[in-house]
Amino acid sequence: MPNDTTPAGTPRETPAVEALSPALSPERNSSSDPGSAPETEPRVKGYRAVFAVREFRAVFAAHLFSLLGVVVSELALTVLVYDLTGSPLLSALTFALGFLPYIVGGTLFAGVADRYPARRVLVTCDLVCAGCVAVMVLPGTPVAGLLALRCLVAAIAPVFTGTRTAALTDILGEGDLYVLGRSLLRLVSQSAVLVGFGAGGLLLTALSPRGAITVTVVTFLCSAALLRLGTRDRPARTGGDAGGTLLKESLAGARAVLGDRRIRGLLLLFWVPAFFVVAPEALAAPYAAEIGAGPAVVGLLMCAMAVGHIGAELYVATALGPRSRSRIVLPAAALGLLPLVVYAFRPGAALTMAALVLAGAGAAYIIGLDQWFVEAVPEHLRGRAMTLLTAGLMTFQGLGMALAGLAAEFLPVHQVVAYSGVVGTACTLLLVVEVRRTGVRYRSARRC
């Protein structure tokens, strides 16, 4: 879904994108810099106002380069491991390793996002990933080495993503431009689900898997160059002022973020729906077999939530203002998983795809939630909070997929997805109540 966040319909950053890719950049507003976001309300509205910011254009272009290479390498590396081993398990593990190291990197190295200048962190992440992928290309690299490098890149990804997300507040400010900038990056990631793997498949007809992976080295280097030359260098948020080791800073930041009731509730509202909404994506192939549909239907089921997410995101970003986006956060979050209950009746392909499109549209709440989150997090914690957000989001999705598959060993697939909708809705409703309560207290505290 989401995060520039993707199984479709969740606020995640596509595992294929973020787990093998750093690509975007930081920078802080300055009214003296004509390429930075203006401090006053922009004359142009919507996405055009975001693209009017020169530094964001460099960030966006870097993101496109990363997506191009990462989606191709994700597919090519899976094919390469299967060619070398003939093992479906190891091939699947190659993909799963895009999720697993997120919690490690996001928890232990989150302090990097606030301790060092953002541009330096992002460019370094790109260069390290380019080096890892270059070693993958070498013919002598064993399968164990390929998997280890995959883990390393995935561990770097949440640090990069958290740094980038916090840096967008420097480039675009903390208001509507930031929200729309996040939305644009998320839309690009969602679109990669629809077209990226198809393009990668075509490329593999012309190149070997290692040749296709080589494309990623070039795209990481292009991304690093865009970030280095197209964005401004700004100081670190903390500069390690608190002293102590990086690990100590990272863990202290996690405790501070999770110890705040308001921030913790918002984080869970990102994470919990994402945990449940991945069930139909994880079980698309067995469900298609259950209803007697062919392989083509599997592809359509995998794309349906992305279609709903993209449509909802475009509508909310362009047709609604900040206040309206804020008003729909809790209702949309509360209702977003209900379409999955349709699976209880084991519908045919057409009705199932319609339900998945609606579930994807439930991600309309993410734009407003982005704004609430950035308002709630103190600036000195912002990089660590965004890193933790990304790490938790990817971890919850990975666990959701794994547990959905485990449940399907004991229950019919359609029941597993339907139960995901029911239990997920109940859990989300509890979070909605909590976020509403903390929101009232948060607004009262700000008035005082």
Question: pLDDT of 182-209, one tens digit each?
Answer: 888 888 877 766 666 556 666 667 778 8
**Which residue in this structure is represented by tokens 């190659």?**
94
**Which residue in this structure is represented by tokens 């998983």?**
337
Angle of the 176-206 helix axis to the 143-172 helix axis, nearest 10: 150
AA letter at 235:
P
User: Counting Cβ atoms within 10 Å, is residue 406 exposed (0-12), middle (13-18) or buried (19+)?
Assistant: exposed
Angle at 245 between CA 240 and CA 250, to 5 degrees: 80
pLDDT per residue over 286-310, tens digit each?
Answer: 888 888 887 677 778 878 888 899 9
Proportion of the chain in helix, strand, coil states, percent, rounded to 5: 75, 0, 25
Portion of the chain with pLDDT greater than 70, in percent: 81
Among 20-29, 46-55, 194-203, which range has the highest average pLDDT?
Answer: 46-55
Q: What pLDDT does residue 376 have?
A: 92
Beta-carbon count within 10 A of 24 CB: 32
Residue 316: C-alpha distances to residues 308, 322, 333, 445 (Å): 12, 9, 14, 29
Cβ-contact 236, 75 below 8 angstroms: no
Mean residue pLDDT of the chain comes to 81
What does the alpha-carbon distance between residue 438 and residue 100 come to, in Å, rounded to a whole number?
31
Q: What pLDDT does residue 443 have?
A: 62
Q: What pLDDT does residue 135 have?
A: 92
Q: What pLDDT does residue 253 have?
A: 82
Q: Which residue has better confidence, 345 or 89?
A: 345
- Does residue 240 register a pLDDT over 70? no
Q: What pLDDT does residue 19 have?
A: 41
What does the alpha-carbon distance between residue 272 and residue 400 come to, in Å, rounded to a whole number?
9
What does the alpha-carbon distance between residue 440 and residue 446 come to, in Å, rounded to a whole number?
10
